[in-house]
């Protein structure tokens, strides 16, 4: 199993290119199930989650061809992938595939919309009502689908003639459930109005792609989305948006270590809340023609309190990274997590590096320390793992992060991008 070795204490200088957004690419790939034509996606990142979803889509009959091309001399990589699903080969999404990636549950929407039925395993480890799988089911029921849970599978069937447009208001904002309802409603008969819809940029990206395929969606980016159902979707060509979480992560890495880095091929329009928090912590951030420039000249980091919230609030996917940054602040900061339960698993690992963090329910209090010291640590999930990398970049001595397969799920060529900016980061295979 691979590990990442980091020798900390070196400021970052150079250019970091941003890859396509994983959180946008996954629903866009699933949308390929909705047409018999070819959907071509540009700027698809090379990530473990993307490769896993390609295998899952193949199970349903999607043919995939990949064109890779170099876009930067610094070695960043982008791919154009063509997805073609002439016919749905299998209406069942089995447990052995769905259990490896929660997002694969989202195929239930396209399968129902295109074929009128689906049999999809509940995601591994999910209790209905804990994470909002129930929101997926209730929203599809609003479109006329009948649901039965049997043996760990959701057996779903659309009414004769297909799904029917309806008004539905989510009781809680859910990005995944909004993705699914957008896809299902695009092929439903009549008009669907989605209330309390997720406003995340990745939802907008999916809606724009569906519109390019012939859907009629308006209101994306607001809390009320209207979908006029159509009978058929066609192929399209669409470019995956830049990864705003990767952008924020590298901005925090520069703020943590000091230095001067231009982060390119990105759009910080969708990251204003996080950018403002990093500025308040003491980093200088300015816009450039290609993205943003992040600088910190060695002055002490300032403590900043944040609360995670649905977009446009502070992203939960940057919470762990910001906690890593706050471990070196000049006072006490507080981070409150409102989106997911149990998303403080990185606290104990940061403590191994010398961080002083106490938990009170869903709020973490971080007492900044003068220095962190390298140690062996273990990644517990995707965002937690990169928070350990950020802390390791600033820690004295050597930090070794194990279980880095979590990192490979969401960060393309992380070691390469950091090394080109002067960091000592290497992957070590056991």
* Binding-site residues for phosphoenolpyruvate: 22-23
126 is catalytic: yes
Rounded to whole angstroms, how far apart are CA atoms 56 and 99? Answer: 11
Structure tokens at 341: 């339960």
Rounded to whole angstroms, how far apart are CA atoms 280 and 287? Answer: 16
Task: List residues forming the annotated binding site.
Answer: 22-23, 102, 131-135, 172-175, 317, 339
Residue 15 contacts residue 264 (beta carbons within 8 Å): yes
* Annotated catalytic residue within 85, 126, 209, 421: 126
Rounded to whole angstroms, how far apart are CA atoms 177 and 119? Answer: 17
3-state SS, 346-399, equals CHHHHHHCCCEEEEECCEEEEECCCCCECCEEECCCHHHHHHHHHHHHHCECEE
Task: List residues forming the annotated binding site for UDP-N-acetyl-alpha-D-glucosamine.
Answer: 102, 131-135, 172-175, 317, 339
Q: Which residues, 6 or more positions from 130, have their beta carbon under 8 angstroms from its beta carbon?
A: 341
**35 by DSSP, 3-state: which?**
coil
Rounded to whole angstroms, how far apart are CA atoms 336 and 128? Answer: 24
Residue 327 contacts residue 303 (beta carbons within 8 Å): no
Residue 50 contacts residue 44 (beta carbons within 8 Å): yes
Q: Which residues, 6 or more positions from 151, have their beta carbon under 8 angstroms from its beta carbon?
A: none
Catalytic residues, by residue number, are 126
């Amino acid at each position: 199993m691979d590990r990442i070795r980091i020798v900390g204490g070196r400021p970052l200088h150079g250019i970091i290119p941003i890859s396509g957004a994983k959180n946008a690419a996954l629903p866009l790939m699933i949308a390929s199930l909705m047409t018999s034509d070819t959907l071509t996606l540009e700027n698809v990142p090379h990530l473990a989650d993307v490769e896993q979803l390609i295998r899952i889509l193949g199970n349903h009959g999607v043919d995939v061809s990949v064109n890779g091309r170099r876009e930067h001399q610094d070695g960043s990589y982008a791919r154009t992938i063509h997805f073609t699903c002439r016919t749905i080969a299998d209406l069942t999404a089995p447990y052995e595939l769905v259990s490896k990636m929660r997002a694969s549950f989202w195929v239930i929407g396209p399968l129902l919309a295109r074929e009128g039925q689906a049999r999809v395993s509940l995601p591994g480890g999910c209790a209905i009502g804990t994470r909002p799988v129930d929101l997926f089911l209730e929203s599809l029921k609003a479109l006329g689908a009948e649901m039965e849970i049997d043996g760990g599978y959701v057996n779903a069937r659309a009414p004769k003639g297909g799904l029917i447009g309806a008004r539905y208001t989510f009781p809680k904002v859910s990005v995944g459930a909004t993705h699914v309802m957008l896809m299902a409603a695009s092929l439903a008969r009549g008009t669907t109005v989605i209330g309390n819809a997720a406003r995340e940029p990745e939802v907008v990206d999916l809606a724009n792609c569906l519109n390019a395929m012939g859907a009629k969606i308006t209101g994306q980016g607001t809390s009320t989305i209207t979908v006029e159902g159509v009978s058929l979707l066609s192929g399209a060509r669409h470019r995956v948006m830049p990864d705003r979480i990767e952008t924020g992560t590298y901005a925090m890495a520069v703020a943590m270590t000091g230095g001067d880095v231009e982060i390119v091929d990105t759009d910080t329009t969708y990251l204003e809340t996080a950018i403002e928090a990093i500025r308040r912590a003491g980093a200088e951030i300015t816009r450039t023609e290609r993205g943003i420039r992040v600088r910190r000249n060695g002055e002490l980091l300032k403590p900043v309190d944040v609360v995670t919230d649905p977009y446009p609030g502070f992203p939960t996917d940057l919470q762990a990274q910001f906690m890593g940054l706050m471990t070196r602040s000049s006072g006490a900061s507080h981070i409150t997590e409102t989106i997911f339960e149990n998303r403080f698993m990185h606290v104990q690992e940061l403590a191994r590096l010398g961080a002083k963090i106490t938990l009170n329910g869903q709020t973490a209090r971080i007492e900044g320390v003068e220095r962190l010291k390298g140690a062996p640590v273990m990644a517990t999930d995707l965002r937690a793992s990169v928070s350990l990398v950020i802390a390791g970049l600033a820690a004295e001595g050597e930090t070794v992060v194990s279980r880095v397969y979590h990192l490979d799920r969401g960060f393309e060529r992380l070691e390469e991008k950091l090394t080109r900016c002067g960091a000592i980061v290497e992957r070590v295979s056991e």
